[in-house]
Amino acid sequence: MKIESEQTKYLPIGWKGAVLGAILFLKNGFAFKSNSYQEAGTPVIRISDIQDGVVTTKSSIRIKASEEFNNYLVHKGDILIAMSGATTGKYGIYKQKELAYQNQRVGNFRLYSDDLINKKFIFFLLGSLKRKIEIKAYGGAQPNISGKNIERLKFNLPPLPEQHRIVAKIEELFSELDNGIESLKKAREQLKTYRQAVLKYAFEGKLTKEWGTQQRQAGNSPEPAEKLLEQIKTEREKHYQKQLEDWKRACEQAKTEGKKKPAKPKKPKELASITEKELAELPELPEWWGWVKIDCLSDFDQFALKAGPFGSALRKSCYVKNGYKIYGQEQVIRNDHKYGDYYISEEKYQEMITCKVKPKDILVSLVGTIGKILILPEKIEEGIINPRLIKISLNPKSMLPEFFKFYFESAFLKNLYRLKTHGATMDILNLGIIQDLPFLFCSTSEQLQIISEIESRLSVCDKLEQTIEESLKKAEALRQSILKKAFAGELTRDWREKHPELITGENSAERLLERIKAEKALAAGREKLRSKKMKKK
């Protein structure tokens, strides 16, 4: 594999330009079936188990151990990487003694020789290559990266003794940096706890208890949920009757003009209700509040609750440079409706018109990073949602979008839907799960007051979180600066001057690569021989 001269021009003595594939390969995982999951057994590492440079089995799914999966075993010290999804490129070290398996969306870095390369050196090297991996992964419609693309990444290989020294130097410099980062993350977690406490009090009616008392004393008691629900049913029926009248007029006009009669509007389904069994398991609410299902809160439009189109109906080949915008998880996760530049034509838009969005619609992320909410503002580009989103159009007289967002992000509701969203490879939320959830219901006047109470408390929280995020970004920039210097040989310059015998001759990176190549050839020969014996059997 040829290495560009620009990379090798200023290499330190004893170093050699290479590609990752010269020293390792990326082993893909296995597609375990969801019906194999059980409470006990061997953990299966999924993308969600890779967090902040560490791989944990704390929330892993488990399966019964079997020899057929031995090729997908994860051992202590293995480095794993996310190969697809919104967090493609994140990686971590597995530090537990318990053996585990890797699923098909997780890659495992396997060295051709554990004795000739420092594995921690590879871990830190990945940190310096992180941006390159992300660029390759996010170049298409859906974030993903192949093992071959990672193996083609170029880097500068130092001799083995210098690898050890580089690892020690990085760990020394990262120690103090990590302590500061840990303090920032702890403060961030405390703010998250405070945020959830505010939401908990809000949806228990505690933040508006005094307001409610004042309203009743002034003769402005909020209308009870039962009465509001009856009003919704009445308005819903009126809306349907109006549709019928409009349809009859359209039929008469079509008959006069000799045109085809339009389709008759569908009679709305009965509103779903909370069962007595469900009610018994839900927390007690203020007397004028109630529990309802989402269809009681949605607009009267037939497609007010709509999942995105099937993936096969919206392929990359459908995209055009300009036209109608495709809204996906990228916009929701970033909380930025303007992000992204995927579009479809007028013809494709009309074909998928049931998935169109409008101002004040709520978009919900469904795959991997589930339950994120984006409220579309008044001015948006016309467009549709993609298969990884659900759009919800609320009846403004029933629930306000901001109230919905706060409630959906509360720990109470998250705990309910997360029980049902564990998929084979990643968490998946769907419209059926959302339609089955219990939603708080109270007057819009009280919803406005609750929103105001929450926002007043969380505004300071938001500012502190912003400060923390900025500090974490600076810390990450410093981390990248350290890694850049480390893999350019700057951190070990003095060490090389004192130990020239450890970086030249037989110890040089060039000789190291030759030895790894020989080890690789031997391993390939053994595998070929094993395959022949298996065929004879």
Q: List the CATH number of the domain containing 141.
A: 3.90.220.20
DSSP symbol at 391: E
- The domain boundary residue, chosen from 132, 157, 182: 157
User: Is residue 502, in this structure, part of any structural domain at all?
Assistant: no
pTM for the whole structure = 0.67
Cα separation, 388 vs 368, whole angstroms:
10
What domain count does the chain have? Answer: 2
SS3 state at 182: helix
Cα separation, 417 vs 370, whole angstroms:
10
CB contact at 8 A, 414 and 434:
no
337-339-344-345 Cα dihedral, nearest 10 degrees: 80
User: Is residue 194, in this structure, part of any structural domain at all?
Assistant: no
Task: Mark out the alpha helices in 363-430 (DSSP H runs).
Answer: 401-408, 411-418
Q: Which residue has the tokens 């996010």?
A: 138
- Kindly state whether residues 280 and 147 are assigned to the same domain: no
User: Is residue 282, in this structure, part of any structural domain at all?
Assistant: yes
**Domain limits for position 83:** 5-157
- The pLDDT profile of the chain, 537 residues, written as one tens digit per residue, is 333 333 445 799 999 999 999 999 999 999 998 888 988 899 999 998 998 899 999 989 999 999 999 999 999 999 999 998 778 889 999 999 999 999 999 999 999 998 999 999 999 999 999 888 888 766 555 678 888 999 999 999 999 999 999 999 999 999 989 999 999 999 999 999 999 999 999 999 999 999 988 988 888 888 899 999 999 999 999 999 999 999 999 999 998 888 888 889 888 888 888 889 999 999 999 989 999 999 999 999 889 999 999 877 888 888 998 999 999 999 999 999 999 889 999 999 999 999 999 999 999 999 888 899 999 999 999 999 999 999 999 999 999 999 999 999 999 999 888 877 766 556 788 999 999 999 999 999 999 999 999 999 999 999 999 999 999 999 999 999 999 999 999 999 999 999 999 999 999 999 999 999 999 998 887 777 776 766 665
Identity of the amino acid at 134: E
User: Is residue 182, in this structure, part of any structural domain at all?
Assistant: no
- The domain boundary residue, chosen from 118, 141, 157: 157
Of 412, 362, 434, 441, the C-alpha closest to 198 is 412
- The domain boundary residue, chosen from 441, 474, 489: 441
CB contact at 8 A, 32 and 46:
no
